[in-house]
Amino acid sequence: MLEEIKQQIKNCRDCESIFGFEPHPVFWGHEDSKIVQISQAPSLKVHQSGKPFTDMSGKTLKQEWYQISDEDFYNLDNFYIGAMAHCYPGKDKNGNDRKPPKRCFQKWVHQEVKLIHNEIYIIIGASAAKEFFPKSSFEQLVFENQVWNNKLTFVLPHPSPLNRRWLKNHPEFTEKRLPEIRETLHQIIRKRDN
């Protein structure tokens, strides 16, 4: 069932008229991935590479925050990597990344991620967090364990270089919260290796 949906997502061209270029859906993983990670949308670099988090945000996420290798991150048994919108949305008239259309989340994401036999969810960024937990403050979501789809869920700020101000204003994230999340991730990944 998941493979059928993944194929439908790959073939989806719903937003081509909005973007002005051919969409390139990007996601990674299979139905037995133990960690489901959902962010906002692929960057231009990811759009070009076809592989999630192959940009500066990915470098920060993998090397500094998770402290895992590319081999572990892209191991299909470890991570299913998706997004609120599977495609890079292009730039607006001011040269900023467009907000991804909500139709992708509404059409695909809920049914897609609920077919995975994962242990935990990781939601990355305030925009994604708001869709999953619309009634909670972002700070509350980040600093407390959450539950979505009856599973442990961590919410992270976006690792983008543009998010430096939030990180500077919340030093307890890197000092206390991130090590707690990292330890859980490492336990799950090590479990797969044993």
Residue 179's domain comprises: 2-193
Please, how many CA atoms are within 13 Å of residue 178, restricted to the half-sphere of its CB?
20
pTM (two decimals): 0.93
Residue pLDDT, tens place only, 97-144: 888 888 888 888 878 988 999 999 999 999 999 999 999 999 999 999
What is the total count of domains within the chain?
1
Residues 6+ positions from 41 with CB-CB distance below 8 Å: 83, 84, 85, 86, 87, 88, 89, 97, 100
Tokens of 161: 């270089």
CATH of the domain at 152: 3.40.470.10
Q: In what helix (H) or strand (E) does residue 37 lie, and over which residues does it extend? A: strand 35-39
User: Does the pLDDT at position 194 exceed 70?
Assistant: no
Residue 31 and residue 116 in contact, taking contact as beta carbons nearer than 8 Å: yes
Tell me what pLDDT residue 176 has: 97
Q: In what helix (H) or strand (E) does residue 103 lie, and over which residues does it extend? A: helix 102-104
Please give the span between the terminal C-alpha atoms of the chain, in angstroms, as a whole number.
28
Residue pLDDT, tens place only, 39-61: 999 999 999 999 999 999 999 99
